[in-house]
Structure 1
């Protein structure tokens, strides 16, 4: 069965479609076990995050695998087909290497995806669907990601607003694990920021949004709780970091609200990140001592500083991945040859045992041992050479030169030294 990668991600589908195909964390093992029972795929692994749902599998029918994926989430294949991609063997290998290295992420070079891939491998193993091929592919992906991290600057510079927000917050707070983060809004920018902050493992995360259902969906994905938008004023003192990005025409946090929050916090510092246009936080809040307010323009300066050096790292990373794809394809080729090698050895062993038995019978009848050994060696030699000799004798026309070259390479003959 050939290898395929199929599914959808942030490159091919908007969040409204990605949500439909997302798997709850506890559902993956049972889903994979069911896929194996259906015999659609011999080996399979699923990765399902905010940005992608991708199935890596050995299957003779990627169409059947895509249909299984749709049925698992209760959607019609026709409805998601325009957003699905299907990558055959070499492209599938390259895709996984790029995913593991952070080159396919919404945030270039982000490290969280590697942990998510490792979890996908553990889940497939628990479901009994992580066979030899996928195990090798995952292990190779982890090694490639490590190589890229060690030998390029792919993760050294911030190239997204979300990453910059985390970086700026980390400058103020010694340990992000001790912080409480409030996200105001539930759109794609907040979703991206939430994914980044989640990677820093803050003590608490909360989502406040005008539409509660959207807040609940995002909160479920990142392990956060939900706050009514109208409760922001009362609850603001409980948060160290506030990230806001809504479509509100008027600011949601004014100077007075911020001052009251800071007083309740006994002047413990706060970081506020306003990614909205128009702004969600009044500019005057920046004048309050112990509140560090950053706008889109502030973050853009950090992002632009990292883009040039990060792009050079991308080129280096792609070169590493290209070489590793070739190495993996070489391993696959050798793996494909294993049945033939086994068959060749079994055939040779069968013939050896037959000739050995013939020699034993002759010795038992009292034949001359020297003659028996001579006959044994001649018969083994003749059987060894019968196949290639017949192959050469049956070659015709232009095929003769190719046949000669093949036999010379297989038997390591040196045409310039016939006596060697």
Structure 2
């Protein structure tokens, strides 16, 4: 078993690089099976969020898996290398445990990543790329996350990205209650942000989504004046909204600079607050160049989510202690699994010796020899065959350190030679 993890996150790469490696949900099954089919890995799970793209795999050739990643996204490996991290088994386990516990998140202690990890595991399981190694790693990760949550205050007083979005809007406008808010997309992140905005009772909330039915379903779950439209209606409607929050799985921008420029003109230069939580980005970066437009990406809200971080950092020390102990346990399990082929080979060898001795004994019995004599000879033959390799190794004095070999034999057979 060769556990390895590699990828990039909000700490190692800007959003302009992270969006190049994103895996939308609809392409994830094909990507998982494609990596396994390439023979670069035996097991694979891919975690792809706005803050990270990480691949956990059972691979004897991590460089081949890295090359597959670069080729899949049509990005040169040289371009990616400054931003990528690659972790061997113990470090990969520690990283997975920290991610699940919210210690590696932009918002220290946030809980959304745990659900995203579970979604990634479910996708790998459904695609047939989750084996015993990765399943054990992630089940252990979930258990560690639960232990950290219950025994530390690492998640206390955390400001979620959804709450941070409202705070940003309140820095630009006097009150959310007078605003018309447009949400593009209808996924989990949009629902979280929309729920926070709805609590401030804005004048109107509109959900723009590719499928109108899903947009209506989300609008109906929100209080207040809500409705839904299709993405095709955005060019005509954009100028009506003071706040635009977008988070879709689109691989190309949905809102371009020209569209926003026309909207600002129609609004007679009343400001627009735009928050792009998508990776890849939904709103062209050039939109930020326009006057009266306040465009923020997922990386730009980092300062706001720092509130209460100092207290959570203290709790994180206790969490790291818990994680360290669980990494040691997982490493022990890995070492045990690595010895399985050797144990199986040893038992197969012993079974061959037994079968040979038994075959001889049965022939002797068939010739009418006394059972007592046959059993005595059988026991002697088995003892001699099984003891011959260690006895020869001890008396030969060649190869490995003879003292270390002698100590190993004493431990294996629980001997007391001094008596």
TM-score by length of 1: 0.70
Does the Cα contact within 8 Å between 1:42 and 1:59 map onto a contact in 2? yes
Name the residue aligned to 1:85.
85
> Which ranges in structure 2 are unaligned for 5 or more consecutive residues?
170-178, 199-204, 210-233, 277-286
**C-alpha displacement of 1:400:** 2.8
After superposition, residues 257-268 of structure 1 pair within 5 angstroms as none
Match of residue 172 from structure 1? none
Q: Which residue of 1 aligns with 2:368?
A: 366
Change (3 A) 1:398 1:28: closer
Preserved contact between residue 109 and residue 154 of structure 1 (Cα < 8 Å): yes
Shift of 1:167: 9.9
Asked if 1:31 corresponds to 2:31, the answer is: yes
CA contact (8 A) 1:148 1:320 kept: yes
RMSD: 4.2
Alpha carbons of structure 1 residues 53 and 166: separation in structure 2 relative to 1, 3 Å: same
Partner Cα distance (1:88, 1:323) in 2: 17
Higher relative contact order (CA 8 A, sep 6+): 2
Q: Give me the whole-angstrom Cα distance separating, in 1, the residues matched to 2:322 and 2:311.
A: 17
Per the alignment, do residues 73 and 250 of structure 1 end up closer, same or farther by CA in structure 2, a change over 3 Å counting? closer
CA shift in 2, pair 1:204/1:347, >3 Å? farther
1:220 aligns with 2:222: no
User: What residue in structure 1 maps to residue 394 of structure 2?
Assistant: 392
* Residue aligning to 1:15: 15
Q: How many residues align?
A: 347
1:155 aligned counterpart, secondary structure: coil
CA 1:166/1:113 → structure 2, altered by over 3 Å: closer, same or farther? farther
What's 2:96 paired with?
96
- CA, structure 1 residues 397+161, in 2 after alignment: closer, same or farther (shift >3 Å)? closer
Moved over 3 A (4+): 159-169, 180-185, 193-196, 198-211, 215-218, 225-234, 242-252
Residue 197 of structure 1 corresponds to 193
* 1:136-147 correspondence runs (5 A): 136-147=136-147
Compute the displacement of 1:86 (Å).
1.1
Distance, in Å, in 2 between the alignment partners of 1:47 and 1:165 is 24
Partner of 2:317: 315
Cα contact 2:99–2:105 (8 A) shared by 1? yes
Q: How far 1:61 moved relative to its partner?
A: 2.2
1:48-127 map, 5 Å: 48-127=48-127
Identify the range of structure 1 (61-70 vs 109-118) with the bigger mean alpha-carbon deviation.
Answer: 61-70
Shift of 1:336: 0.6
State the Cα distance separating 1:165 from its structure 2 match.
Answer: 6.2
Q: 1:33 to 1:397 in 2, by over 3 A?
A: closer
Closer, same or farther: CA 201–145 of 1 in aligned 2, 3 Å: farther
CA distance in 2, matches of 1:232, 1:382: 96
Aligned to 1:7, the other structure's residue is in SS state: strand
What residue number does 1:188 align with? Answer: none
Pair 376,398 (structure 1): closer, same or farther in 2 beyond 3 Å:
closer
Answer yes or no: is the 8 Å Cα contact 2:100–2:113 preserved in 1: yes
Partner-residue secondary structure (3-state), 1:220: coil
Query: Shift in Å at residue 194 of structure 1?
Result: 6.4
Cross-structure match for 1:135? 135
Q: What's the secondary structure of 2:248's corresponding residue?
A: helix
- Residues 88 and 360 of structure 1, relative CA distance in 2, 3 Å threshold: same
